[in-house]
Amino acid sequence: MNKTIAVAFTGASGMPYGMRLVDCLLAAGCQVWLLYSQVAQIVARQEMGIELPSRPAEVEAALRERFKDVDGRLRVFGREEWFAPPASGSNPPDAMVVCPCTMGTLAAIAAGLAQNLIERAADVAIKEGRKLVLVPRETPLSALHLENMLRLARLGVVILPPSPGFYNHPQSIDDLVDFVVARILDQLGVAHNLMPRWGETGEGADDGR
């Protein structure tokens, strides 16, 4: 049975990670529920030249064409759609990823605010014991940021900063993006071939030094 994954775009830098993640999830046969904030619309335009209309139905149509989603497995919901499936524990996705994740969204999730669909869906994922992956893109990190991350990590939330490695000798920005997306897919248990597994090529070592 193919997994249903909720993906949320927020206003942090790093939209290429989120777009590539959706592309890979659909290619793997997953059902994708996409949520997006108003600021994510600005980031998508600035970083990728992609227009995300204000109407979710228009975003859904545009992204289905972009990702060649002929099966209609991509659904898009607005930030105030409280009757959307991910808003309720009676119909949660198998997992959720916020990519990229702003510090404001991370803080709201840590505080359990649930003031919009992204925050509510994350709240549902936590209370229902589903995998929740946050991809926070900020630097440097303040003590407040770190405390919020620690609070969430203690609840079982995966904090996955987009920190690409270089031991696989990336040749392009796409390679760096794929490195991070591969780590997200691993957390979701979604098969991929974005890059060789450690030890498969016999090159380099990432021993943490």
Q: Residues annotated in the binding site, as ranges?
A: 11-13, 37, 102-105, 137, 167, 183
Of the candidates 56, 63, 50, 122, which has an alpha carbon nearest to the alpha carbon of residue 93?
Answer: 122
Please report, as a single letter, which amino acid is at residue 179: F
Distance CA 207, CA 209 (A): 6
Whole-angstrom distance, CA of residue 57 vs CA of residue 46: 22
Give Cα 179 to chain centroid, integer Å.
Answer: 14
Residue partners of 129: CB distance under 8 A and separation at least 6: 156
203 Cα distance to chain centroid: 29
Which tokens hold the place of 60?
A: 């859904």
Residues that constitute the known binding site for dimethylallyl phosphate: 167, 183
Query: Is residue 64 classed as helix, strand or coil in its secondary structure?
Result: helix
Known binding residues for FMN are 11-13, 37, 102-105, 137
